Amino acid sequence: MKKKYTNSSEPFNKKQQDLAPEKSFGHDQYLTTNQGVKINDDNNSLKAGDRGPSLLEDFILREKITHFDHERIPERIVHARGSAAHGYFQPYGNISQYTKARFLQDPNSITPVFVRFSTVAGFRGSTDLARDVRGFAVKFYTEEGNYDLVGNNVPVFFIQDASKFPDLIHAVKPEPHHEMPQAASAHDTFWDFISLMPESMHMIMWAMSDRAIPRSYRMMEGFGVHTFRFINAENKSTFVKFHWKPKLGTHAVVWDEAQKISGKDPDFHRRDLWEAIENGNYPEWELGVQLIPEEDEHKFDFDLLDPTKIVPEELVPVTLIGKMVLNKNPDNFFAETEQVAFHPGHVVPGIDFTNDPLLQGRLFSYTDTQLSRLGSPNFHEIPINRPINAMHNNQRDGHMRQEINTGRVSYFPNSLGGGCPYQAKMAEGGFTSYEERIDAKKIRERSESFKDHFSQAVLFYESQNETEKQHIANALKFELSKVETVVIRERMVGLLAKINENLAKEVAASLGIVIKEIEKPINQGIGADTDSQKHEPTTAKKPETLSKALSMIENPTNPNDIATRMIAFLCSDGVNEDSVNIMKNELESKNAVVKIIGTNANSIKCDSGNTLKVDFNLLSTTSVVFDGVFIPSGKESVEKLVQQPQTAEFINDAFKHCKPIAAENEGIHIISNSDIGKNITSDQKLPAGVFSEKENKTQLTENFVNALAKHRIWEREKILN
Ligand code: HDD
């Protein structure tokens, strides 16, 4: 008899369930509809006959498809691409002298946090390695309610007034007629806007520096950008700037590498964060504050309210007040990372705003955007957004309301509910705004004190070392060469000339512009001459003191640390097992991560006869996702590797991207076979950061480790350019 064909999966038996790698559902749970009705067949829709039309009656099918049809929500208008993690914050001591915020007082207290890192311009599926500012948003779930520090990895912003934010974002997003380019600022509309907005030049210097292509989210600084206020129990205000300092140091990739990673592994930063946490390498930052007494508000030659300015660390040092550790990946990307709603207006008693006109505009924007993105004023009830302390008020109803409020009182004041929930006095932790005296005319004006757009752009540029300056020039050459409208390029070169003439000349030469021809008024351009932009930029002077803190290379954190750096070992059959193990043990003892790259995807037979597990096949990985390369000895292994064209490509890229490379004994053949070979001197000296000590293994290991700690061998760029 013909067996009835249903293609229906038989329920797993108990033993199979126990073996399942995923335990996201509890065992013995039946598949049900959203109404809790057990489903008997989830593989076949209800049809009239086994070949017949589907029936509208099939409520199981309809429910499943309807839900699927509505699975997407609008992505964030900016910062759409992001990754997040859970962790905790712990203060180092008591700073009640400055702020009454309770989560900053007790070194034994732990405040849960959820942190989302992001790029700004790209869509949700875009590459992590775009040249862009990175969002660094921290939600502290404090006992006094949620506090969000919604910052970036750059301490300043492009614009001074929130009214320009939609213009900035329209300009940087893909151009509206053909929606290109994705996640890139290298196009006409962005640079058109920037060339007409001299106030953006300080931020442009940061965005063109390697800060905009971080090595990892774990290796970025974070900044609150605006000046905020700390308020203590006596209601005294102190201005505060927030800084996050990464324990792993601040590191970047190089631009050629960033572009290659974008193709090879567009999830590079997401994967890096996820894997570090899964492997127990919990990323850590220290929270720093720059504290400025209220009386010193006007002491600086810039305005504390101007978000295009930093307070140089040399003027006001950063005091470290606590640490943040990220130690748990989200369970569900959509429920947590996508639905988390940050807002710079989520503050707790002890933290308050200043009149920074960019911050003031932000205070409106974030709730408003959640209404369309998350679809309801009840987005605070989504688990990731809920405060950990109890929340009571008279707000009611609305789409997707979760709470079932009881009773008939939903107003204040009331007597029927005994006046509850009642207001908290200041001493009871009630939030009161700082009583700042305001006595002013209602005007649309930019303060005179906001008009110097260039001094700090110069300070940043001049504080970079030669390598960093060259990278800025290269980035500008790349970006502006993608701009098709010549007058925009010219205006940009004009603005650059206000920062550094040589920089402007170098960029101009690469664009084929003669610098003399472009000495036109800087604000030239349609729409640029409005009252709000009437301040002509002053030509900036070179600062007397530079700021070492602004240079990533000159200001390394933990300069001897190679923790979590990824090292590729190129191996094939016949590799010398000792050579692998000695270097591996040394690197792993310093908490670096070693990956065996093999000529197949499974395992390698060592010269000892033992097998070595392969992490990646040479064909499916790439040198750009590693921080350094080691070629162990083993004649047969080296011969096999030399035959693979990917080997030379691997080494060439590592060499070009200034990464440390070490080879033992026969491994030198791979080095001589690559581009490095052309740079070996007649007395057999290897280029900087390339090591091959034949006899002395200890020296080889030591040299390699020291070079890895430097992150990159920048002097190599001189021989490459
Ligand atoms: Fe913003 C998201 C950071 C200016 C309007 N912003 C957003 C995120 C970060 C920042 C990190 C992503 C949060 C997350 O991961 O969900 N934004 C900044 C910084 C700024 C800034 C550091 C300047 C100092 N932003 C800014 C202005 C406006 C906005 C001037 C509007 C007037 N930002 C938004 C937004 C977003 C947002 C449209 C999009 C998604 C969201 O809020 O939740 O409201």
Model pLDDT for residues 33-59, shown as the tens digit of each residue: 999 999 999 999 999 999 999 999 999
- The pLDDT assigned to 15 comes to 60
Instruction: Decide which of 535 and 705 is more confident.
Output: 705
What are the tens digits of pLDDT across the range 87-108? 999 999 999 999 999 999 999 9
Residues with CB under 6 A from ligand 1: 76-79, 82, 116, 118, 135, 137, 150-152, 157, 162, 165, 225-226, 307, 340-342, 358, 361-362, 365-366, 369
What are the tens digits of pLDDT across the range 624-640? 999 999 999 999 999 99
pLDDT bucket at 532, cuts 50 / 70 / 90: very low
Given a contact cutoff of 8 angstroms between Cβ atoms, the answer to whether 455 and 301 are in contact is yes
Catalytic residue among 146, 152, 385, 523: 152
- The pLDDT assigned to 543 comes to 81
Q: How large is the average pLDDT for residues 387-395?
A: 96
Q: Is 55 exposed, middle or buried (0-12, 13-18, 19+ CB in 10 A)?
A: exposed
Q: Kindly report the CA angle at 59 between 58 and 65, in degrees rounded to 5?
A: 95
pLDDT bucket at 579, cuts 50 / 70 / 90: very high
For a mutational test of ligand 1's pocket, the pick from 79, 119, 206, 310, i.e. the residue with the most ligand atoms closer than 8 A to its C-beta, is: 79
- The pLDDT assigned to 718 comes to 87
Q: Kindly report the CA angle at 113 between 220 and 108, in degrees rounded to 5?
A: 105
Catalytic residue status for 79: yes
Instruction: Decide which of 543 and 608 is more confident.
Output: 608
Helix (H) and strand (E) counts in the chain: 18, 18
Given a contact cutoff of 8 angstroms between Cβ atoms, the answer to whether 540 and 454 are in contact is yes
pLDDT surpasses 90 at 698: no
Given a contact cutoff of 8 angstroms between Cβ atoms, the answer to whether 357 and 303 are in contact is no
- Rounded to whole angstroms, what are the CA distances from 455 to 307, 502, 523? 14, 17, 17
Given a contact cutoff of 8 angstroms between Cβ atoms, the answer to whether 675 and 656 are in contact is yes
pLDDT surpasses 60 at 715: yes
pLDDT surpasses 90 at 574: yes
CA 340 – ligand 1 centroid, Å: 13
Name 48's Cβ contacts closer than 8 Å, sequence gap at least 6: 55
Residue 231: name the closest of 387, 386, 91, 430 by CA. Answer: 430
Catalytic residue among 7, 13, 34, 79: 79
Catalytic residue status for 152: yes
- The pLDDT assigned to 77 comes to 98
Chain centroid to CA 405 = 39
CA distance 548 to 95: 28
CA 156 – ligand 1 centroid, Å: 13
Residue nearest (by alpha carbon) to ligand 1 atom 7? 79
